């Protein structure tokens, strides 16, 4: 499993036509009234540009205000859906707090006054963490991120190490065949998490609760782990949009996070949705 796989399910579709050859409709034209909508957003590569290391992400001016206003206009039905922990999400957007499915579905926060309303995984086993952490020593430039419920090996600064990383992780897994873990390939990141929950299981659970229940979800994401959520949107009469490339099965796509931010700001301005 390599990061090229992250590209595979996507189709480059710069001409933006749907399956019938008709020009793709603009995302904002598809969005129902905000009173009936739940807005679900991946963070890295979707709301924010990917950076060489995850600590360097930057929230552009105006984004927090847009997100806060959309939260108000949807009566609270806006949530982050991220591989990051709740704690990390809060640090990025401080002082603003948002509802969230975090840690790839390991944590869920339904109310911004709460730490977490549901936690679905124990922190990763220490010995397993120690062994996976040793993989970071394969090459300078491999960055280990302990996300609590998962470990991420980032190699954006050492792309030549990709194969060695995945081979080393495979060896560790072969040694521990009963460990309840899975490997998630992403964009220059190899992430190891507990199995048994995903962004999709987290979104399904979130959508059972107020203020999300009964609304039409709109999900925007950019990476392999977001495909689990793209896949369940039709079950909820939802809409999905990919970022970077048009993913299979989505209702539309954005070229870059800046386009996602412009789309969100436009939802606020769109009198049709008031
Ligand atoms: Mg992402």
Distance 45 CA to ligand 1 centre (A): 4
Q: Running DSSP on this structure, what letter comes out for residue 189?
A: E
CA distance 61 to 84: 21
pLDDT for position 178: 82
Per annotation, catalytic residue among 12, 18, 42, 223: 42
Distance 270 CA to ligand 1 centre (A): 26
pLDDT for position 126: 84
Q: Running DSSP on this structure, what letter comes out for residue 217?
A: E
CA distance 214 to 242: 23
β-bridge pairing 181-186 and 143-146: unpaired
- pLDDT: is 248 or 160 the higher one? 160
Confidence class for position 271, pLDDT limits 50, 70, 90: low
Q: Is 42 a catalytic residue?
A: yes
pLDDT for position 10: 44
Show the CA angle centred on residue 14, arms to residues 61 and 271, nearest 5°: 50
In the chain, the domains with their CATH numbers are 2-120+197-273 (3.40.50.1000), 126-194 (3.90.1070)
Summarised one tens digit per residue, pLDDT across range 108-155 is 999 888 777 888 877 778 888 889 889 999 999 999 988 878 899 999
Distance 69 CA to ligand 1 centre (A): 22
Distance 223 CA to ligand 1 centre (A): 5
Mean of all residue pLDDT scores within the chain: 87
Q: In DSSP terms, which residues pair with 217 in a beta bridge?
A: 38
Distance 48 CA to ligand 1 centre (A): 9
Q: Examine the pLDDT at 169 and tell me if it is beyond 80.
A: yes
CA distance 202 to 212: 13
pLDDT for position 274: 58
Residue with tokens 């105006």: 62
pLDDT for position 163: 96
Confidence class for position 59, pLDDT limits 50, 70, 90: very high
Distance 200 CA to ligand 1 centre (A): 14
Distance 221 CA to ligand 1 centre (A): 6
Residue ranges near ligand 1 (ion) with Cβ within 5 Å: 42, 44-45, 222-223
Distance 125 CA to ligand 1 centre (A): 25
Which of 121, 128, 70 shows the shortest CA–CA distance to 261?
A: 70
Asked which of 76-90, 130-144, 175-189 is least confident by mean pLDDT, the reply is 175-189
Summarised one tens digit per residue, pLDDT across range 23-58 is 566 777 777 789 999 999 999 999 999 988 888 888
- pLDDT: is 186 or 260 the higher one? 260
Q: Examine the pLDDT at 75 and tell me if it is beyond 90.
A: yes
Most confident of 2-6, 146-150, 198-202: 198-202
């Amino acid at each position: 499993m390599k990061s090229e796989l992250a590209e595979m399910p996507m189709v480059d579709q710069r001409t933006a036509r749907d399956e019938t050859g008709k020009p793709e409709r603009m995302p904002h034209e598809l969005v129902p009234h905000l009173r009936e909508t739940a807005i679900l957003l991946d963070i890295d590569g979707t709301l924010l540009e990917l950076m060489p290391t995850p600590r360097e992400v930057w929230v552009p001016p105006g984004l927090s205000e847009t997100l806060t206003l959309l939260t108000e206009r949807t009566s609270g039905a806006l949530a982050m859906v991220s591989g990051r922990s709740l704690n990390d999400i809060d640090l990025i957007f401080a002082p603003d707090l948002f509802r969230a499915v975090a840690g790839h579905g390991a944590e869920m926060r339904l109310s911004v006054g709460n730490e977490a309303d549901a936690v679905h995984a124990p922190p990763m086993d220490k010995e397993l963490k120690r062994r996976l952490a040793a993989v970071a020593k394969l090459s300078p430039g491999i960055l280990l991120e302990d996300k609590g419920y998962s470990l991420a090996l980032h190699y954006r600064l050492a792309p030549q190490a990709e194969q060695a990383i995945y081979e080393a992780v495979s060896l560790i897994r072969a040694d521990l065949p009963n460990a309840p873990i899975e490997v998630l390939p992403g964009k220059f990141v190899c992430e190891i998490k507990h199995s048994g929950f995903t962004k999709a299981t987290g979104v399904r659970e979130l959508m059972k609760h107020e203020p999300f229940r009964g609304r039409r979800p709109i999900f925007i994401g950019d990476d392999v782990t977001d495909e689990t959520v793209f896949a369940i949107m039709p079950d909820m009469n939802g809409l999905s949009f990919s970022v970077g490339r048009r993913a299979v099965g989505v209702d539309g796509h954005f070229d870059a996070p800046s386009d996602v931010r412009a789309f969100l700001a436009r939802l606020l301005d769109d009198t049709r949705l008031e």
